[in-house]
Copies of this chain bind each other. A is one copy, B any other.
């Protein structure tokens, strides 16, 4: 009885989150389609408005039209607002709906979010989320001020400089990937200060909500900081994030050593590798045209985008924890161990099963997307693999084929961005219609695998 109620509520909460996304897309499409949002003489088709809306709500950043050439100042503020809703809003709103709708279900999430067990009441949680939202807004504001002030040297008017700084800060923190420079961060390819600030903001958004909360607790805890215990989730996701960024940068550097980096200075190669590695986590901004990279690097970046950001962050993909648990499970299986021990804790077998399900579904969705686009689009396969990985990881990097996609191709990419954003688990729970009731059991029989 309790069990069936549990299920009905979880089902409803997932549906609610998805419903919220759909409403957000509808309203965004309407707002983005308003004539006031466009520059003079620019016509935006319904399809392109819809695509921009899905891209903004899912904070992906793939664009079929140039943001800089299409949208007016009010339009730019609308997009920034949608990014805010899509990135931070839905992230917390998802948690919120879960907490409000399913007090029972909150247990797991609560355990994750609440490392300070003294505050584990619903009101305490809402309070905490408000604090975090406040924190993120403050970070965005500081980012906007720092970047805007710095940009004063590049732009004629202070309005233009601060508009650029504001939009850049919002786009980076929400990992939105949109740009109003017209060429992403390429104008700042040699401005390491701008890249450093962007990296900080991108990581803030992509590292995951629970991690931010724990870091905040760690920093402002009333107890001694030395005794603060980070959760397994935070250790696992942060470690994976770090390893992916560093390993990604090293591989990009190695793959391009004799080609794109051949005539560059060491600090240029360092910052190009580092920024392009960080941005695959889900930022989507870039300091160069990825077409200048070699095919192996483009495939590597596709794999990194496929892995994506942390769970409960502004990013998509299979997520860092999923990937880490799959690798750990493989390693411990090969070693013949029956349990997975990491950071002095054991992983729950249900989480391991979930991770494998998510990874496998992701591989199937990803490869289906590639085959579908290969049917409808005339572009090289590498560009299609890159685009599909970028959409599923809600990263927003592109080899430039987005504006040229057919209507069918745009729909496929929109679906991928949507699935990438809500996550494979929510996607699976969506198709969970009536729960199979297990009234009977069958005998177990073993089969040969692999």
Rounded to whole Å, the gap between the CB of A397 and the closest CB of chain B is 17
Complex: A444 Cα to B340 Cα, angstroms: 10
Q: Which of A30-38, A51-59, A353-361 contacts B (4 or more CB under 8 A)?
A: A353-361
- With A299-B371, A312-B448, A325-B449 known as contacts, the answer to whether A442 contacts B334 (CB < 8 A) is no
Rounded to whole Å, the gap between the CB of A92 and the closest CB of chain B is 14
Q: Which of A80-88, A142-150, A170-178, A228-236 contacts B (4 or more CB under 8 A)?
A: A228-236
- With A232-B445, A321-B448, A325-B449 known as contacts, the answer to whether A432 contacts B374 (CB < 8 A) is no
A428 near B300: Cβ-Cβ < 8 Å: no
Q: How many A residues have CB within 8 A of the partner chain? A: 83
Instruction: Tell me the A339-354 residues at the B interface (CB within 8 Å).
Output: 339, 341, 344-348, 351-354
B111 near A446: Cβ-Cβ < 8 Å: yes
* Chain B residue at minimum C-beta to C-beta distance from A299: B371
Number of chain copies forming the complex? 2
B450 near A108: Cβ-Cβ < 8 Å: no
A447 near B351: Cβ-Cβ < 8 Å: yes
Q: Which of A61-69, A121-129, A199-207, A433-441 contacts B (4 or more CB under 8 A)?
A: A433-441
Looking at chain A's contact residues, the main secondary structure is helix
B311 near A351: Cβ-Cβ < 8 Å: no
Rounded to whole Å, the gap between the CB of A117 and the closest CB of chain B is 14
Interfacial chain B residues near A446, Cβ < 8 Å: 108, 111-112, 233, 348, 351
A295 near B348: Cβ-Cβ < 8 Å: no
B448 near A112: Cβ-Cβ < 8 Å: yes
A318 near B450: Cβ-Cβ < 8 Å: yes
Interfacial chain B residues near A356, Cβ < 8 Å: 329, 353, 356-357, 359-360
B319 near A450: Cβ-Cβ < 8 Å: yes
Rounded to whole Å, the gap between the CB of A328 and the closest CB of chain B is 11
A2 contacts partner chain B, Cβ-Cβ < 8 Å: no
Q: Within the complex, which residue of B345, B374, B375, B450 is in contact with A355, where a contact is CB–CB below 8 Å?
A: B450
Interfacial chain B residues near A318, Cβ < 8 Å: 450
A1 contacts partner chain B, Cβ-Cβ < 8 Å: no
A425 contacts partner chain B, Cβ-Cβ < 8 Å: yes
Interfacial chain B residues near A448, Cβ < 8 Å: 112, 210, 233, 311-312, 321
Q: List 18 A-B contacts (CB under 8 A).
A: A7-B336, A112-B447, A232-B445, A233-B446, A295-B381, A319-B449, A319-B450, A326-B360, A329-B356, A333-B353, A336-B436, A337-B438, A346-B443, A356-B357, A359-B360, A363-B363, A380-B381, A424-B450
Lowest 9 CB-CB distances: which A-B pairs, in order?
A356-B356, A358-B450, A311-B448, A232-B445, A334-B428, A233-B447, A354-B449, A345-B445, A336-B435
